Chains A and B, each alone.
With several copies, the nearest count.
Chain A
Amino acid sequence: MNITIQLNGRDHPISGSISVLELLRTLDVNPGSVVVERNRSILERDTLDQVTLQQGDEVELIRFVGGG
């Protein structure tokens, strides 16, 4: 059954409860180049496969960009 999370500030439906790592794969995002915040707490990289997404989770995928 499907659930909806909030991804980078927008609703994002996902099929069933998958891990954060699986989410990144489906999004084509290299886990090594981003920071993942889940419900305001930062996830360690090596735990991304163990964290399963729940309905309503707020997920932020953040990376570095050029800035002054």
Chain B
Amino acid sequence: MENNPLVIGGRSFRSRLLVGTGKFPSSRSMVEAINASGSDIVTVALRRVDLADPGDDIMSALDPERYLILPNTSGARDAEEAVRLARISRAAGCEPWVKLEVTPDPHYLLPDPVETLKAAEILVKDGFTVLPYINADPVLAKRLEDVGTATVMPLGAPIGTNRGLKTRDSIQIIIEQATVPVIVDAGLGAPSHAAEAMELGADGVLVNTAIAVAGDPAAMAQAFKLGVEAGRLAFISGLGGLRWKAEASSPLTGFLRRAES
């Protein structure tokens, strides 16, 4: 198998690691981490201007020539709010791409399958390239494909938990059945988690918290970059199967003993 670039919505990307911009200690550490990650796609959120501090503006720190700025709809509790947010980002000058998030539950921030599907349908018709964040639900993934989303983004674990690929079995089914890229999003807390997802055949992963809250965000971003490349390379190089009994890595010819005759 060849190592093709990641293609989403007809557009080709070198890196298979997408990074988020939340929770960084500073705008500078964010930029250093993004650069270290080698990422081509960077997510941002929309919020009301803080009238007490109207100056702050993340876009000034991000170079739209270097990365695709991918707005998410975080904060939306239903389809209508999500659609509204997507349109606002487009109006703000972003390309018509959106990471669709509909999360009514504030505790686990898990996505609503019904509202997500409804919003996806509207946004696709409206000309958006839609990347929906979903639970690891293979049937929902197929339905989103059917309405024309550009990817599916199943979660590994709830956002920000660093718990890893807890949904491994379902992700594997989604990958097997999907005809659009599968980007594992949320819950990946270590490079080994990202590598595991890529080894399963995921087309990419999105990481934010694990990088932003690390002791050294830039170094952790590079660690995830390496982990994603390691997992991808292993996937296309053909991993060996699991065995139950041992298989000697050193030859097991009878040795230093009298031959049985």
Contacts and interface: CB of A to CB of B under 8 A. Distances in A.
* Physical contact A–B (CB less than 8 Å): yes
Interface of A: 6-10, 27-30, 33-35, 37, 40, 42, 60-68
Contacts, number: 119
- Interface size of B as a range: 35 or more
Contacts of A28: 54-55
B48 A8 contact: yes
Contacts of A63: 46-49, 57-59, 92
B258 A66 contact: no
| Chain B contact residues: helix, strand, loop or mixed | loop
B30 interface: yes
Interface of B: 20-24, 30, 43-49, 51, 54-55, 57-60, 69, 71-72, 74, 84, 87-89, 91-92, 159-160, 186, 206, 208-209, 248-251, 254, 256-259, 261
| Chain A contact residues: helix, strand, loop or mixed | strand
Given A9-B258, A9-B259, A62-B88, A68 B159 contact: yes
Contact of A35 (B30, B44, B88, B248): B88
B47 A62 contact: yes
Instruction: Rank and list the top 5 A-B pairs by shortest CB-CB distance, nearest first.
Output: A67-B45, A68-B249, A68-B20, A67-B250, A68-B208
